[in-house]
Amino acid sequence: MLVRVGSRGSRLALTQAERALAALRAPGIELAVLPITTAGDRDRSLPFGEIGSRGVFVKELEEALLERRIDVAVHSAKDLTATDPEGLSIGAFLRREDPRDALCGADGIRPGMRIGTASVRRKAELLALEPSLEIEPLRGNVDTRLRKRGERGLDAIVLAACGLDRLGLGAEIGYRFSVDELLPEAGQGALALQVRTGEEHLVAAADDAETRERVEAERIVIAVVGGGCLAPVAAHHDGETLMGMVAAEDGSWLERRSGPDARALGEELAAIASSRGG
């Protein structure tokens, strides 16, 4: 049986697709990777919020699934929308790797640094840590952003540690933020295998139950808050504690809460955001 696996075409995405293939290989299964370009790949200059809502790196893959051009879509779980489109479901989450954010170019945060990131969530959390930072927008794939750091004379950039590790670029990391410093994006560090509803059997053997439990709780928090690329929100489950965060983009206020119930935690964070005018 031929299983067509869709992936974005960047070096990192194809590396992640290879991890998915390794997890899906089985007797009688033939696997083929089909690279697909997303809106986030086509436009690497505009801020995410001007391209569209959260999901700018997944929509075209989801459309390819619904149109039966592919059978499995490989996503970075942090890129997913908070809820699955009708007709699609996450059939498997691969075992989560390092969920933390990484600082490249410096071994820590110092006052007045110029730091590049396209994430409003990272911007808010960085400014809450150190208000004197200058946060500059920075788009592009991992290699491009590492190159632009030098070209633009930035002191550092912030990327997902897992992506650098997967590309063998862990040596570029000067500092890995603790989750107490920068709470990660929901799903960060995990790969999600999306399929058409009813075809979960195609990927079920690759599912890591612990990762699924944690990431699904994080996604519920974000769904209840109503967060997207323009909303500095985050959720992370470390295996013991489910944590959530809402903030102002300029870091002028940031609120963190924790609790065992994802929906209740999301409602608490939504109320905070509302009271702050968010």
Catalytic residues: 79
Contact 177, 204 (CB under 8 A): no
The tokens for 36 are: 């697909």
Question: Which pair of structure tokens corresponds to residue 142?
Answer: 């991992």
DSSP category for residue 270: H
The pair of three-digit structure tokens given for residue 251, joined into one six-digit string: 């870091």
Q: Sheet harboring 72-76: ordered strands across?
A: 30-35, 2-7, 72-76, 191-196, 88-93
CB 111 within 8 A of CB 43: no
Q: Are strands 156-160 and 30-35 parallel, antiparallel or unpaired?
A: unpaired
Residue 135 forms beta bridges with which residues? 115
Which residues on adjacent β-strands are paired with residue 2?
30
Name the nearest CA neighbour of 3 among 27, 212, 36.
Answer: 27
Q: Chain-centre distance of CA 255, in angstroms?
A: 20
Q: What is the 3-state secondary structure (H, E, C) of 9-63?
A: CCHHHHHHHHHHHHHHCCCCCEEEEEECCCHHHHCCCCCHHHHCCCCCCCHHHHH
Tokens of 272: 């905070």
What is the largest distance, in Å, between two alpha-carbon atoms of the chain? 58
